[in-house]
Amino acid sequence: MVKLVGIAGSIGEQSYNRMLLEFIRNHFKKSVDIELLDINNVPVFNEDEDHNDNPVVHELARKISGANGVILATPEHNHTVPAAMKNVIEWLSNNVHPLNGKAVWIVGASYHTQGSSRAQLHLKQILESPGVNAFVMPGNEFLLSNAKEAFDEDGNLKDARTVGFLDSVMKKFLTFMKVIEMMDAPDPKNSHEEDMDSKHPVNTTVEDVDMTDPEWVEKAAEKTHAATGGDYVKLDRGLLTVDQLNYFLNSMAGELTFADDNNQFIYYNKNADAAHMLAPRTPDQVGNPLSAVHPDRVIEHVKQVLYALRTGESDVVSMPAQTGPNQHVMHYYRAMRDENRRYRGVNELVIDIMPILKYYLAATGQKLVKDPDAVPMSPITGLDAVTGASKHSDPTDATSGASASKSVEKPATKPATDATSGASASTADAAPAAPEEPVDTDALTGASEEPEAGYTAAGDATPAKQPAPEPESSDTDATTGASQS
């Protein structure tokens, strides 16, 4: 659900602007989550003081940063915005700038006919100053005059036409927010324009922290007042503490890496030292632009992958890395998109599929054999549109090739056919005897129907003419089915 924060500009005991915001919150609660922020205890701004000393300012900045948009309700004091509201904006335009690039909708209530018109104009001027740099929705002025008579005893606006106008403006604001959120989306025209140096900050980029700093995580966390430890994080769908999230991600059956839409490497699930990782990463690399964690020779390939995901040409690109008789490490690059379908980065999963394959063969009593009809294919999937994808002799780890350059050089990837047949041969040799009892046929339909077809057809109903099925789909079927049985 879209998340907004609302701030009423006056800190008087009674405020019609607060009533207006409360009405807006209740009126739209089915479609928009609006949290009203309290500015009563914000100290007087002083440029000599550091905001870091003040938890109230912290909290306001954090909530505004986390919201999709902001509603400001201003009365008019002496032809301008109340000092209380201006005071908050001064705090939020000095050391921290949470309103930067944020969509803002201004509303106002007043006793008489003016409906805070002059205060709204001043507020627009203030919000557009460089230190604040918010995006104020143009037009659509909402001026509630004669506020004393406007509400009934339940705090609802009495006039249906006013409510109708509010509905129409909220609808426009929801669209306005989407447009604003898209404004900072990097938009390379081709794969060469993918900015591997991460110089196009997006609205999640932490500004003013050196990306190559080994302490980037610590410094960026301090800058953003990041949640830590026992702090709860509301997720879609669930509620976990930061600790719980770490337990969860660090115990994933695979290595996960997050590079955002500015091509900045911002996370990996650190559960092992680099020496024990399939695609080694080190803690100091986090925060780096992707160019800093890849050797030059793979940069163009990485750009192709990113561009295919960003533009929606592919949702998943996969490629093998280390392959051999006992190992078949796959890298899966998945596009992450927000509710507007905007690309928000790449989710890389590195996993050795050989144990899964071996288990599957053992559990279903099968072995691998060469497919005489196999058509040679590229080991890389998801880059069909990119000519020459199949010619990549070095499909190294798109997000983390760097690690290769920094630590271990990965074994060269073999051509597709070798990789597949090598794997099948060795697995067939190693395949243990079939189990005594027949396995659940529902779960492993393909297997029981075509017991001799080999692993290429066994995972699901994939016809045998497709020599290399998407290993993930077989995995998924097998595991899901198994857990059901």
Partner 1 sequence: MKKFVALVGTNTAKSTNRKLLQYMKKRYADDADIEVVELKGLPIFKKTKEVFIPQQARDIAEKIEASDGVIIGTPEYDHSIPALLSSALAWLSYGIHPLMDKPVMIVGTSYGTLGASRAQAQLRQILDSPELKATVLPSSEFLLGHSLQAFDDNGDLKSATESQKLDSLFDDFLEFVDLTDQLDNSKKLHEHAAATFSWDNGTTGDDK
Q: What is the largest CA-CA distance in the chain?
A: 88
- If one asks whether residue 150 binds partner 1 (CB under 8 A), the answer comes out as no
Q: Looking at beta carbons only, is 81 or 356 nearer to partner 1?
A: 81
3-state SS, residue 402: helix
- If one asks whether residue 172 binds partner 1 (CB under 8 A), the answer comes out as no
By the 10 Å C-beta count (0-12 exposed, 13-18 middle, 19+ buried), 428 is classed as middle
**Tokens 């040799």 -> residue:** 429
Q: How far is CA 451 from the centre of its chain?
A: 42
Report residue 61: phi and psi, to 5°. Answer: -60, -40
Q: Which of 7, 67, 89, 286 binds partner 1 (CB under 8 A)?
A: 89
By the 10 Å C-beta count (0-12 exposed, 13-18 middle, 19+ buried), 227 is classed as middle
In which region does residue 312 sit, left (phi positive, over 0), alpha (psi from -120 to 50) or beta (all else)? left
Q: How far is the CB of 65 from partner 1 (least distance, A)?
A: 18
The secondary structure of 321-359, three-state, reads EEEECCEEEEEEEEEEECCCCCEEEEEEEEEECHHHHHH
Q: Looking at beta carbons only, is 85 or 368 nearer to partner 1?
A: 85
Q: How far is the CB of 81 from partner 1 (least distance, A)?
A: 8
For residue 223, what are the CA distances in angstroms to 197, 205, 300?
21, 11, 33
- If one asks whether residue 100 binds partner 1 (CB under 8 A), the answer comes out as no
Q: How far is the CB of 4 from partner 1 (least distance, A)?
A: 22
Q: Are 17 and 109 in contact (CB under 8 A)?
A: yes
Q: What is the DSSP letter of 448?
A: H
**Tokens 């271990």 -> residue:** 408
Pick the piece of the chain touching partner 1 (CB under 8 A) from 75-83, 206-214, 223-231, 387-395.
75-83
- If one asks whether residue 87 binds partner 1 (CB under 8 A), the answer comes out as yes
Pick the piece of the chain touching partner 1 (CB under 8 A) from 9-17, 327-335, 364-372, 475-483.
9-17
CA atoms within 13 A on the CB side of 73: 26
Q: In the numeric block, which tokens belong to residue 161?
A: 């036409």
Q: How far is the CB of 193 from partner 1 (least distance, A)?
A: 35
- Dist CA 295 CA 298 (whole Å): 6
- If one asks whether residue 42 binds partner 1 (CB under 8 A), the answer comes out as yes
Pick the piece of the chain touching partner 1 (CB under 8 A) from 77-85, 306-314, 320-328, 357-365.
77-85
Count of residues in contact with partner 1, rule CB under 8 A: 46
- If one asks whether residue 83 binds partner 1 (CB under 8 A), the answer comes out as yes
Pick the piece of the chain touching partner 1 (CB under 8 A) from 61-69, 119-127, 237-245, 427-435.
119-127
- Dist CA 250 CA 235 (whole Å): 17
Q: Which of 27, 62, 122, 406 binds partner 1 (CB under 8 A)?
A: 122
- If one asks whether residue 11 binds partner 1 (CB under 8 A), the answer comes out as yes
User: Restricting to residues 19-38, which ones interact with partner 1 according to CB under 8 A?
Assistant: none
Q: How far is the CB of 82 from partner 1 (least distance, A)?
A: 7
- Dist CA 269 CA 256 (whole Å): 6
Q: Looking at beta carbons only, is 11 or 292 nearer to partner 1?
A: 11
User: Restricting to residues 400-459, which ones interact with partner 1 according to CB under 8 A?
Assistant: none
Q: How far is the CB of 99 from partner 1 (least distance, A)?
A: 10
- If one asks whether residue 93 binds partner 1 (CB under 8 A), the answer comes out as yes
Q: Looking at beta carbons only, is 42 or 361 nearer to partner 1?
A: 42
Binding site for partner 1 (CB under 8 A): 10-17, 42, 44-48, 75-84, 86-87, 89-90, 93, 109-114, 116, 118, 122, 125-129, 131-132, 147
